[in-house]
Structure 1
């Protein structure tokens, strides 16, 4: 054993597999092997509970409690995790280089080894030996898919003016972001641009200008750019047809809108916008009194079932959406694969002490050692053992890279004991969590939003009427606890429903949740948002991120409602032109 200097931490020098495996026993019925005794489970739970507190310094009494608890451990398999959490504590511990080096010499296969190495190298004295390098490999990311297929990177085509194509696209898009549409149009009209960009590239940029002009409420200009874009290419650009259809609808040129949307529904392209074209075509057909044609386009949109407009079409048609959420089973042979790796043993032990996020990180570290054919069993295992973020990530890899759809993994259901005393169901919370964080309990954004529902500390302080949530060394660490985060998030959602500007409508609750109620109020003040047409209002929101966010969360909600076998009237309300009010989600709304 090695005793670290100036601490009471004891680090095992060598992992003896015989000692580790001697403590493993089979669990009944669930294919799990027990790593820890009941006494060790209690001790580790207490240790991790203490170390999550906002400890102020190295001299705090909490560390003495942890050291005393460590002495009572029989199986020390998780000591590396205990010390990593201590060494990385944001306020309560500062480690010497010697401590960090000794930890790395024993735990360089640990998921926190890379981070601890960075700290160690900053503190390394010149004449000291370097620590062991971390073992390579770690599966980063969560299941969200952010590639913008409607605005591809330039150059689109293979030609000798790639550099000019790229720089022109950058200038153009910057101009659009700054609302300099005249500059953007002049750039496209220049002889040099017309000479060096391909027709496909010119068509793409014209389509983006068309959509921007629609958002800026310059509908006639938008239609002109849409027509120019369509005329430039043998394959009409989907975004041009989309923008042209929306702009024509808003100026009540139904015939022209029908042309754009019908054409959009017939071409190949991203399924979300193609479904949108078919759905809006059905609206136009219904408006013109052609029920048969409206039904045809609804069925066409419904073929893209996990898109916003596909879901709306299915709701409009009265389809009962009952997809298969089953996941493959795993067996002892698969568990034995996990046990071949020290990180796998630690992961199973961490599951036993309910440290699911730490367990997921151990799996992310050893996943490169698994074959892709193991992924279905692996995501089934992580799903059953409360690691929804990793489940989502693995399912997304299978979907994006291998065209294998496992809906039970793409729409995971965490086993969180959520307080439902004020909730009618959990579907909305899961729909938001899937989009906000990919179910990552430790997610933190550049705007300081934290946890599964991405709650900003100042928002938590306001909702909980406790300013301590603003303080780093006080209550804001609780936002990393999924149950606490969701409790605050559900109260915030209910608060948003009560705002006059939101008008008790889930659509605008989501807009406010994503962009902030202040921004949403600004949009409704300076622009004509008195549309009776809710879908047109949605498509007219100035923030692309917010438009997409609303659609994705509502689609998630549609799928989760199906997963919970609930009466799925949410999107039917929207398809019927009604608001989605709070009574569908909360008890005792008072409205």
Structure 2
């Protein structure tokens, strides 16, 4: 059962509190009673009517109720850390500290029974504008709280204030990160060998030249004796693989094919993407039989990611059909389809005549699992922070906790994050969570719900485009981090540039003084939706999803230039693969894949997938109800 259907199990609410309880109940997976399979309902003690902790139910003895039809009643438990009194005290303490009323905050602190959030309180005090912090205070904070969010800032300030003879403060505890393991959606490194320092230096220079569209200059550079002799034979060909890509993207198909062929004679196994570009170059030269051979070898490689394997299989099927070998099409499509939730894998599944059907793994949380989770200090603090409405800090605590929790607790952590409507946490944990062994069966697309969270964000003007489309962009742009800021200055869930926001709203202050307004989730996705609506007309035909995503990532100006310069022969897939910017190529495939998967999860038609599978441009059409 997807989270979209859980509302059917929630009783009607008549009071504000009950409505809040029901909102949280819709965010949790419930245990079912053994009798009649009846669903148990849970109510939470919430930080606010919109978001809060989630109540869970355990089936223990109790009286009968009308809802249970005379059956045994259930005991309701609530995932709380703070008592009601401490919750109110902390709210007042944070408010007083933020206003610089430290005496008032100290008086309130003396009344606390649970002081686990004092590290956060002192962090606000020491880094705020109303208090002149002493080195001894910062050193003491790091001694007690160096495992908490914000420790880096405290440490930097402590180093600046440290007297010359004073002992150094404790360093912030190193964060631990779990690597993504979800085979269907992880982007794997295509090579495993550790490169030498000289290789990294040469490779960096070649990449710089390739970015400038000068494959010929890069080729001349690597032919220099001092460059060539500094590399092993394999390193030399890995560098030249980038030049093959550059030749293809510059439209130099014959040069790309010849160079790729030379590489493949020696290192076909270890430089597999040379087959990819050789295949694309051969396709564009209408040498379909050769293209099919190269794509097939890529599809059969054991040294590429699922995304590359899917691309090889899908394009091998296309090339085989074009070469007059239709009997090979279905086997190649099966290779692509077996990669699951990849761009070309989903397309292959549809071309095989199967509908897009995803089996969703629903994370569950019971009282015992919750108690086990909160043995971790960061998780316990996160729950307490949610009780007082500090969502951003709670999110950071859970993200940090994930790195040290046992993987067996992943599903419970995803369920807790979903209950609190913290999609960034859901996504991070689900990316590293193994699916149950029973789910990993050939021919099925099985995904953890946390990989594609459905948060409660909504544009202030209502949905003008499908919710699935907005979620698809948010997932790729910010991974649902509301405060995400890129190196270029893009901000918020939809990663909108301040200048773009100013253009959309005609408010010049958004490009300067008010640019941090873009960190407000509702404001950000409202502008993002308006910008998507504007970009619908950037390509041909109107609403072309491949061109819409290109314009959003690369800019409408680049889209127009690429359209004029690329030789993609009217082929939607060759259009994608001919785009000079690697980031944009990957972006199109991931956002469109996100859109298809979210549409399936929300029960909406996936007409653009049908169009793509038939070889035509996928055109966005709003779903009924959105």
Shorter-chain TM-score tier: 0.7 to 0.9
2:189 maps to: 149
SS in 1 for 2:621: helix
2:385 to 341, 350, 357: 350
In structure 2, C-alpha distance between the alignment counterparts of 1:65 and 1:353, rounded to whole Å: 19
Q: TM-score, normalised by structure 1?
A: 0.79
Q: Does 1:490 align with 2:529?
A: yes
In structure 2, C-alpha distance between the alignment counterparts of 1:498 and 1:66, rounded to whole Å: 55
2:507 maps to: 466
Deviations 1:160-219 (A, max 9, x none): xx5554444344333333433234323554566666644433433333221210001111
1:7 maps to: none
In structure 1, C-alpha distance between the alignment counterparts of 2:249 and 2:320, rounded to whole Å: 24
Unaligned 5+ runs, structure 2: 1-52, 58-75, 441-445
SS in 2 for 1:443: coil
SS in 2 for 1:439: coil
2:134 maps to: 97
Q: Go from structure 1 to structure 2 and tell me whether the alpha carbon gap of 1:172 and 1:529 turns closer, same or farther (over 3 Å shift).
A: closer
How far the C-alpha of 1:125 sits from its partner, in A, is 4.6
How far the C-alpha of 1:505 sits from its partner, in A, is 1.3
Deviations 1:363-390 (A, max 9, x none): 3444455323223322332233222222
In structure 2, C-alpha distance between the alignment counterparts of 1:533 and 1:111, rounded to whole Å: 49
Q: Does 1:570 align with 2:608?
A: yes
Q: Go from structure 1 to structure 2 and tell me whether the alpha carbon gap of 1:536 and 1:199 turns closer, same or farther (over 3 Å shift).
A: same
2:80 maps to: 34
Q: Does 1:63 align with 2:122?
A: no
1:314 to 342, 349, 364: 349
Q: Go from structure 1 to structure 2 and tell me whether the alpha carbon gap of 1:77 and 1:190 turns closer, same or farther (over 3 Å shift).
A: closer
Q: Does 1:267 align with 2:301?
A: yes
**Would the aligned equivalents of 2:373 and 2:409 in 1 still touch at CA under 8 Å?**
no
In structure 2, C-alpha distance between the alignment counterparts of 1:284 and 1:122, rounded to whole Å: 63
How far the C-alpha of 1:537 sits from its partner, in A, is 1.1
Q: Does 1:251 align with 2:288?
A: no
**Would the aligned equivalents of 1:326 and 1:408 in 2 still touch at CA under 8 Å?**
yes
SS in 2 for 1:450: coil
Deviations 1:297-351 (A, max 9, x none): 2222111122211111112223233333223423323322344354333211222
SS in 2 for 1:448: coil
1:532 to 570, 584, 601: 570
1:495-534 counterparts in 2 under 5 A?
495-499=534-538, 503-525=542-564, 527-528=565-566, 531-534=569-572
Q: Does 1:412 align with 2:445?
A: no
In structure 2, C-alpha distance between the alignment counterparts of 1:554 and 1:291, rounded to whole Å: 28
In structure 2, C-alpha distance between the alignment counterparts of 1:264 and 1:26, rounded to whole Å: 48
Q: Go from structure 1 to structure 2 and tell me whether the alpha carbon gap of 1:436 and 1:196 turns closer, same or farther (over 3 Å shift).
A: same
- Of residues 577-586 and 138-147 in structure 1, the stretch that sits farther from structure 2 once superposed is 138-147
Q: Go from structure 1 to structure 2 and tell me whether the alpha carbon gap of 1:181 and 1:116 turns closer, same or farther (over 3 Å shift).
A: same
SS in 2 for 1:324: strand
Unaligned 5+ runs, structure 1: 1-24, 52-57, 156-161
SS in 2 for 1:583: coil
Q: Go from structure 1 to structure 2 and tell me whether the alpha carbon gap of 1:355 and 1:415 turns closer, same or farther (over 3 Å shift).
A: farther
Deviations 1:223-243 (A, max 9, x none): 111111111236373211111
How far the C-alpha of 1:109 sits from its partner, in A, is 4.3
In structure 1, C-alpha distance between the alignment counterparts of 2:405 and 2:337, rounded to whole Å: 37
In structure 2, C-alpha distance between the alignment counterparts of 1:148 and 1:185, rounded to whole Å: 27
Deviations 1:50-82 (A, max 9, x none): 89xxxxxx9xxx826898799778656545434
- Of residues 411-420 and 135-144 in structure 1, the stretch that sits farther from structure 2 once superposed is 135-144
